[in-house]
Structure 1
Amino acid sequence: MHSLPRLIITLTTFVMGLQAVCAHAEWFTVEEPIMGTAVSAQFWHDDNARGTALKQQVIDIMQDVDQRMSPYIDTSEVSQLNTYAYKKPVTVSDDLFAILQKAAWISSISAGTFDITFASIGYRYDYRKGERPSQDDIQHSLAAINYQHIVLDEQHKTVRFLHPEVRIDLGGIAKGYAVDSAIEMLQESGVNHAVVAAGGDTRILGDKRGKPWMFGIRHPRKPDDHAVIMPLTQVAISTSGDYERYFMDGDERVHHIIHPTKGTSATGMRSASVLTQKSIDADALSTTVFVLGVEKGLNLINGLPDTEAILIDEAGKLHYSDGLLRQRSTQPTSHKQLPQP
């Protein structure tokens, strides 16, 4: 169940021979601030003009998703839903409908732990100003936080809200969708080696021309350090952490990952990283596992095919899903790159 056939986490050192390449072949790199985070892509292409055009296409995809999925842009599809979906069914694009279906599935397998209606109270938090809603506001808004308040009509591609104060936010799933879209575009364009990232969401296509991509999971309390470094190929990985958007209220860290049944920042974890085949799944599952905590989160991951997780709890201790533990146990001690849990 956890073999991850396309995921390569090799813990041995090896040397690869040099490969002859076309004189015009090169790595293309692009980075832009989009969707409130850093978006980047690196890929190999043997045609300079085509590679340059593909860089712009990656940016175009990311900007398109932002324009249509952001709750902070009045003309976006999500904003239109938040304004009108309680009053009447709202027709949405096929891709937004697919994202909402995926969100509903993650909600169902996690008993509502992943819930895009968290925004019904989440929008009242201002992490830049260090402001949060009162306890009375939180209690009032809890009735609106329930993914079952969202009714999807697949035949007509419409969305309806069943509670007047429901709001949705796709921050825990839309970046993963955007990363997948960019990777799929590159793959269809003949690219075989690429990495695309949007904030904590990364998807790797192939390898780095004969060697794995070295990927680091950020240390949640040391911004310039990594808690884990591992070689990866052909996989998506997403990390949700309490260090991404937060402010301190005394000794309390108030961060953006909201517990849907409490309306406050989830506790017990510092970061949750999920590895699987698509970024949309890794994105949503990393948020889900963060809220669930170590025991329930690993139980969920261990029951999903081709899916693994690396968790850091509130004490800074590392925890691994079963498949990764098995991989660690089969490697020589001197070559282990995953720290002991």
Structure 2
Amino acid sequence: MRGRCLGFAGVLLWVFVAACSRAPVYQQESFVFGTRVEVLIAGLPEARARAAAAAVLREFDRLHRTYHAWRPSELSALNAALAAGRVQTVSEEMAELLVDAQRLARLGDGLFDPGIGRLIELWGFHSDELPTGLPDEAALAAWRSAQPGIADLHLSGLQASSRQRQLAIDFGGYLKGVALDRATSILRAQGVGNALVNIGGNVMVLGSRNGQRWRVGIQHPRQPGPMATIELDDGEAVGTSGDYQRYFEVAGRRYAHLLDPRSGRPASGTQALTVLITARPAAGALSDAASKPLFIAGGDWPAFARRLQVAHVLRVDGDGRWQLSRAMQDRLEFVGGRPRALEVVPP
């Protein structure tokens, strides 16, 4: 898409291309990972930009098909083997993802845990359709008694196994971030120096938008439109977890897809939490994974931010009050003015 400016309302973030930008910004969209995906490339001829964006979207589709948790895939085959108590040979790529996911789970004290696939299934968040009712309490109690997690997975080279048959891997809270890192590698290899990739609100940028910093807006959890905007530098990534994207209500109570492994129930006390990850290796994966334990931790999020080395955090608690780290305060521009209920917290 060229010759006009773009303003895209993402699931969790908004992406802005300012009206004063005269140079072309090419945009290509798709639907992958159960969400809308877009690739914006600035300052290149359309043919080159189209080819680079297409290469990114092909990789996204491959990752989605390879690591789908409940449709036939390499990951579902692993889960079937774990449930049967069998040893499964995995690819080198999957082994690397599993090791990294275990590392991130340890850093987040298990609040981010890709090993809770059975719990996700019990709540009905494992399908494209939203659940309509609460899970069976006896089944939840049984899961809590077993307390399976990715730490139960044993890897010996490419051989994966576990004595815990309730273990099931779901990369839903991690794979979009991995895809962002893959996208930036592909784009750089294609000679792209200026781009923005948005996967349902998980954003990573390269360079600038024709000399101007890329700007994204952070979605308000209870109102339409953004509550704040932030400009991003080369190699930075933003990830948001919110209770307003995938949820259902029973008797007036909201049950969101962000599950607390300690209780086996949806986390409460936070409406939305955004992290900004400064340029570093695997910034995309960290932006996706880090927002989960901080969201689930509620008021204890600063301790988890320190453990994960995340300095830029914005949180909206269950009552709509804002908390943000000092570093994040320096980067945000509030929409509609500075909110009254705002607390600046050292990370």
Q: Are 1:163 and 2:168 counterparts?
A: no
Counterpart of 1:5 in structure 2 is: none
Question: Pick from 115, 134, 137: which aligns with 1:135?
Answer: 137
* Aligned-residue identity in percent: 25
C-alpha contact (below 8 Å) 1:122/1:263 kept by paired residues: no
Question: Pick from 312, 319, 324: which aligns with 2:328?
Answer: 324
Shift of 1:112: 1.2
**Which whole-Å deviations, capped at 9, do the CAs of 1:194-215 have from their partners, x for residues lacking one?**
1111112111111212111121
Distance 1:115-1:338 versus aligned 2 partners, 3 A rule = farther
Q: Are 1:287 and 2:292 counterparts?
A: yes
Counterpart of 1:152 in structure 2 is: 155
Q: Which amino acid aligns with 1:238?
A: G
1:214 aligned counterpart, secondary structure: strand
**Which whole-Å deviations, capped at 9, do the CAs of 1:86-111 have from their partners, x for residues lacking one?**
52222222222222122111211122
Q: Where do 1:1-341 residues align within 5 Å?
A: 26-74=24-72, 76-86=73-83, 87-126=85-124, 128-142=130-144, 143-153=146-156, 156-222=157-223, 224-234=224-234, 235-276=236-277, 277=279, 278-294=283-299, 296-305=300-309, 307-325=311-329, 327=330, 339=339, 340-341=342-343
Distance 1:50-1:167 versus aligned 2 partners, 3 A rule = same
**Which whole-Å deviations, capped at 9, do the CAs of 1:257-294 have from their partners, x for residues lacking one?**
11001111001101111111311001000011111113
**Which whole-Å deviations, capped at 9, do the CAs of 1:178-229 have from their partners, x for residues lacking one?**
121112100121111111111121111112121111211111111x221211
Shift of 1:338: 6.5
C-alpha contact (below 8 Å) 2:273/2:315 kept by paired residues: yes
Distance 1:129-1:148 versus aligned 2 partners, 3 A rule = closer
C-alpha contact (below 8 Å) 1:144/1:163 kept by paired residues: no
Q: Which amino acid aligns with 1:233?
A: D
Shift of 1:335: 12
Query: Mind listing any 5+ residue stretches in structure 2 that lack a counterpart?
Result: 1-17
C-alpha contact (below 8 Å) 2:75/2:169 kept by paired residues: yes
Question: TM (normalized to structure 1)?
Answer: 0.84
C-alpha contact (below 8 Å) 1:120/1:144 kept by paired residues: no
**In 1, Cα distance between equivalents of 2:286 and 2:93:** 15
**In 2, Cα distance between equivalents of 1:79 and 1:65:** 13
Q: Which amino acid aligns with 2:185?
A: E
RMSD over aligned CA atoms reads 2.5
**Which whole-Å deviations, capped at 9, do the CAs of 1:38-94 have from their partners, x for residues lacking one?**
1111012533332221121111011001001111221x1110111003522222222
Counterpart of 2:13 in structure 1 is: none
Question: TM (normalized to structure 2)?
Answer: 0.83
Query: Mind listing any 5+ residue stretches in structure 1 that lack a counterpart?
Result: 1-14
**In 2, Cα distance between equivalents of 1:336 and 1:181:** 36
Distance 1:42-1:164 versus aligned 2 partners, 3 A rule = same
Distance 1:94-1:338 versus aligned 2 partners, 3 A rule = farther
